[in-house]
Chains A and B, each alone.
Chain A
Amino acid sequence: MRYSMQRYWFGDVMEDTCTRAEGDTAALADRVAALSTKMEGFVPLRWEQAVLCGTAPDRAGYLALLRQVTTLLAERKIRAWYGRGDALLIQKVRMLEDLDRAASLVAERFGEWDRVLHPGPAEEIREPAPRRALEGARGRAEGAQAAVIASVDGLAAARAALVEEVTTGAREILPNCTALVGGLVAARLLSAAGSLDAMARLPAASLQVLGARAALFAHLRTGSPPPKHGILYQHHRVHNAPRNRRGKVARTLAARLAIAARLDCYRGARDEEFLKRADEAVRRAGRGT
Chain B
Amino acid sequence: MIWLDGVLVSPGSRSLHGERILRGHRVWDPYRSKLAALAHLGHEVDLPSSLRVLYLGAAHGTTVSHIADYVECVYAVEIAPRPMQDLLSLARQRENIVPVMGDATRPGEYAPFLERVDLIYQDVASPRQAEIAAAHRVFLEEGGTLILMVKTRSIDATADPDAVTRQVTGALASCYRVKAVVPLEPYHRDHRALVCEGVK
To the question of whether A and B form a pair in one complex, the answer is yes
CB <8 Å contact, A44 and B116: yes
Stretch at the interface among B40-48, B83-91, B168-176: B83-91
Would you list which residues of chain B between 143 and 187 have a CB under 8 Å from chain A?
A: 157-158
CB <8 Å contact, B111 and A71: no
CB <8 Å contact, A64 and B84: no
- Map CB proximity to B onto A7-30 as digits: 1 under 8 Å, 0 otherwise: 111000000000000000000000
- Map CB proximity to B onto A76-118 as digits: 1 under 8 Å, 0 otherwise: 0110011000000000000000000000000000000000000
The answer, yes or no, to whether B51 is at the interface (CB within 8 Å) is no
CB <8 Å contact, A39 and B135: yes
The answer, yes or no, to whether B70 is at the interface (CB within 8 Å) is no
- A35-B112, A81-B81 known; A71-B99 Cβ under 8 A: yes
| Cβ of B32 to closest chain A Cβ, rounded Å | 23
CB <8 Å contact, A78 and B85: yes
CB <8 Å contact, A220 and B157: yes
CB <8 Å contact, B112 and A77: no
The answer, yes or no, to whether A46 is at the interface (CB within 8 Å) is yes
Q: Which residues of B have CB within 8 Å of A70?
A: 98-101, 110, 113
CB <8 Å contact, B112 and A8: yes
Instruction: Pick from B96, B101, B112: contact of A37, CB below 8 A.
Output: B112
Would you list which residues of chain A between 195 and 232 have a CB under 8 Å from chain B?
A: 217, 220-221
Instruction: Pick from B85, B96, B116: contact of A63, CB below 8 A.
Output: B96
- Distance A67 CA – B73 CA, assembled complex (angstroms): 11
The answer, yes or no, to whether A289 is at the interface (CB within 8 Å) is no
Q: Which residues of A have CB within 8 Å of B109?
A: 37
Instruction: Pick from B88, B108, B111, B135: contact of A74, CB below 8 A.
Output: B88
Q: Which residues of B have CB within 8 Å of A64?
A: 95
Would you list which residues of chain A between 32 and 61 have a CB under 8 Å from chain B?
A: 32, 35-39, 42-47
The answer, yes or no, to whether A124 is at the interface (CB within 8 Å) is no
Instruction: Pick from A38, A71, A217: contact of B108, CB below 8 A.
Output: A38
Q: Which residues of B have CB within 8 Å of A66?
A: 98, 113
- Distance A74 CA – B88 CA, assembled complex (angstroms): 8
CB <8 Å contact, B91 and A67: yes
Secondary structure dominating the interface of A: helix
Instruction: Pick from A39, A81, A217: contact of B111, CB below 8 A.
Output: A39
The answer, yes or no, to whether A73 is at the interface (CB within 8 Å) is yes
| Cβ of A85 to closest chain B Cβ, rounded Å | 15
Q: Which residues of B have CB within 8 Å of A82?
A: 81
CB <8 Å contact, B99 and A67: yes
Size range of the interface on A? 20 to 34
- A35-B112, A45-B112, A74-B88 known; A67-B138 Cβ under 8 A: no
Q: Which residues of B have CB within 8 Å of A81?
A: 81
| Cβ of B80 to closest chain A Cβ, rounded Å | 9
- Report 13 cross-chain contacts, Cβ distance below 8 Å, ordered by A residue: A37-B108, A39-B138, A44-B111, A46-B115, A66-B113, A67-B91, A69-B113, A70-B110, A71-B91, A74-B88, A74-B99, A77-B84, A78-B88
- Map CB proximity to A onto B104-134 as digits: 1 under 8 Å, 0 otherwise: 0001111111111000000000000000000
Q: Which residues of B have CB within 8 Å of A8?
A: 112-113
The answer, yes or no, to whether A75 is at the interface (CB within 8 Å) is yes
CB <8 Å contact, A63 and B115: no
- Distance A36 CA – B106 CA, assembled complex (angstroms): 11
- Distance A35 CA – B95 CA, assembled complex (angstroms): 26
- Distance A43 CA – B135 CA, assembled complex (angstroms): 13
- A75-B88, A220-B157 known; A9-B98 Cβ under 8 A: no
